[in-house]
Amino acid sequence: MDTYATLRIGDKELQLPLINGTEGEKAIDISKLRAETGYITMDVGYGNTGSCQSAITYMDGEEGTLRYRGIPVEQLAEQSTFKETSYLLINGRLPTRDELTRFSVMLNDNSLVHTDLKVFFQNFPRESHPMGILSSMVNALRSFYPSLARNTEEINIIMTRLLAKVRTMATMSYKISRGHELVFPRPDLTYCENFLNMMFDSPVKPYEIKKEVVDALRVFWILHADHEQNCSTSTVRMVGSARVNLYAAISAGIAALWGPLHGGANQAVIEMLKEIAEGKGDYKKAIERAKDKNDPFRLMGFGHRVYKTYDPRARIMKKMCDELLESLQMSDPLLDIARELEEVALNDQYFIDHNLYPNVDFYSGIVLRAIGIPTSMFTVMFALGRLPGWIAQWKESQDDPQWKLSRPRQIYTGHKKYDYVPIHAR
């Protein structure tokens, strides 16, 4: 097997070491390129550039494979809990029964939020987007829990505290935005049950926890738990590389996920489907617009930087839509439109040529609607699912002896040097 690549620039030859991953992925290590040649590489959007070596998640975009710490996501969605999957991602292996019990107790013990944080929530303008609130509030947690992470024990407490409190904060944001009384976490409920109860329970109408809804939420969050070096995870790693505290790094990740090209797509898909429904279901027009180079419109929930086939998560989510709606004896006209849209797109030459398939966001909104989550909170739900992945990736980068401050280079295309002209002479 080759151990290096030869780069020839002019009459100069440089041997660059090759890196091989566990699953046969290959990389050229260019860390000495600029020092030896004066050249840098250019890769807008980093589609061909690795930022790190990681043991957390493996994706194969051609095969549509996704594994967390080696375990296929399909098996975790079928058999695991979100809590156990979070432990797996962060600690690198499945917990023993004792470890899982201790993890549960730590999550319960840390699930309350300092009451002073309520004032912050109450002072956001009513129309504030929940992702903006969540990003701000996670950053604010540092002010309430200033203890630095000096050792493994303290890091574990901070990570568990985040997992416990961010879920509670998301429900607080929802309740306060509606002017409703807060509902507190209960030690007798699971992580997912507690979230639903804190969101929807009220003195006038006690919330009935339904197994099929809890199960849908469990699968939803497991499917979102990590996805290697996507935009928001790379943001968490980059911000974390400055050795900033974990709260600030996660807050930055939430901000990146907010974007409609990234995690914000689940909200954008529903808005797109609603628009089609209001236009009497004219999904063919949406397809034509998506293909029109002069139209910035994109078919939201379609396409992916890595998956050039069906996103394995979308497959599970699509199946879950049917099962959940059937068990709740519900129907959703937007699901019918989504199916027709998918059918037409997958048979359209443009989508075939561009390898555009449904991604995780295409059906996830239908599941969230069935659960009763407001559309404005769809990306918050994505963030709550991705939180263990962000934490695991941040921890891996902090533990990596090779990790250093992220600082990409550029090619300058501005003015050549010229002298300043004082304002009176201009």
Residues in contact with ligand SDX by the rule CB under 6 A: 45, 227, 230, 261-263, 265, 290, 298-306, 354, 356, 359-361
Distance, in Å, from the CA atom of 212 to the CA atom of 328, rounded to the nearest integer, reads 8
For residue 19, what are the β-bridge partners? 27
For ligand SDX, the closer of residues 104 and 234 by Cβ is: 234
Helix 211-224 vs helix 312-327: angle between axes, to the nearest 10 degrees?
170
For ligand SDX, the closer of residues 69 and 227 by Cβ is: 227
Q: Residue 299 Cβ, how far from ligand SDX at the closest point, in Å?
A: 4
201 is catalytic: no
Q: Residue 202 Cβ, how far from ligand SDX at the closest point, in Å?
A: 33
Q: Residue 269 Cβ, how far from ligand SDX at the closest point, in Å?
A: 7
In the block, tokens 């091989």 appear at 20
Q: Residue 278 Cβ, how far from ligand SDX at the closest point, in Å?
A: 20
Distance, in Å, from the CA atom of 49 to the CA atom of 43, rounded to the nearest integer, reads 7
For ligand SDX, the closer of residues 121 and 357 by Cβ is: 357
For ligand SDX, the closer of residues 66 and 325 by Cβ is: 66
For ligand SDX, the closer of residues 245 and 393 by Cβ is: 393
DSSP structural state of residue 46: G
Q: Residue 410 Cβ, how far from ligand SDX at the closest point, in Å?
A: 20
* Cα–Cα nearest to 362, from 289, 280, 417, 307: 307
* Cα–Cα nearest to 64, from 278, 357, 293, 290: 357
Active-site annotation holder among 304, 332, 353, 419: 304
Active-site annotation holder among 361, 399, 400, 415: 361
Tokens of 166: 């961010």
Q: Residue 341 Cβ, how far from ligand SDX at the closest point, in Å?
A: 11
Q: Which helix (H) or strand (E) holds 67?
A: strand 65-68
DSSP structural state of residue 376: G
Residue nearest to ligand SDX (CB): 303
For ligand SDX, the closer of residues 173 and 232 by Cβ is: 232
Q: Residue 55 Cβ, how far from ligand SDX at the closest point, in Å?
A: 18
In the block, tokens 């009451």 appear at 115
**CA angle, residues 390, 188, 326, in degrees to nearest 5:** 75
AA letter at 310: Y
Q: 50-83 burial string, b = 16+ CB within 10 Å, else e? A: bbbebebbbbbeeebbbbbbebebbebbeebbbb
Torsion-angle region of residue 198: left (phi > 0), alpha (psi -120 to 50) or beta? alpha
For ligand SDX, the closer of residues 265 and 392 by Cβ is: 265
Q: Which helix (H) or strand (E) holds 218?
A: helix 211-224
AA letter at 183: V
Q: Residue 307 Cβ, how far from ligand SDX at the closest point, in Å?
A: 7
For ligand SDX, the closer of residues 102 and 354 by Cβ is: 354
Q: How many residues does the chain have?
A: 426
Laid out side by side, the sheet with 65-68 consists of 57-60, 65-68, 71-72
Q: 166-189 burial string, b = 16+ CB within 10 Å, else e? A: bbbbbbbbbbbbeeeeebebeeeb
304 is catalytic: yes
Catalytic positions are 304, 361
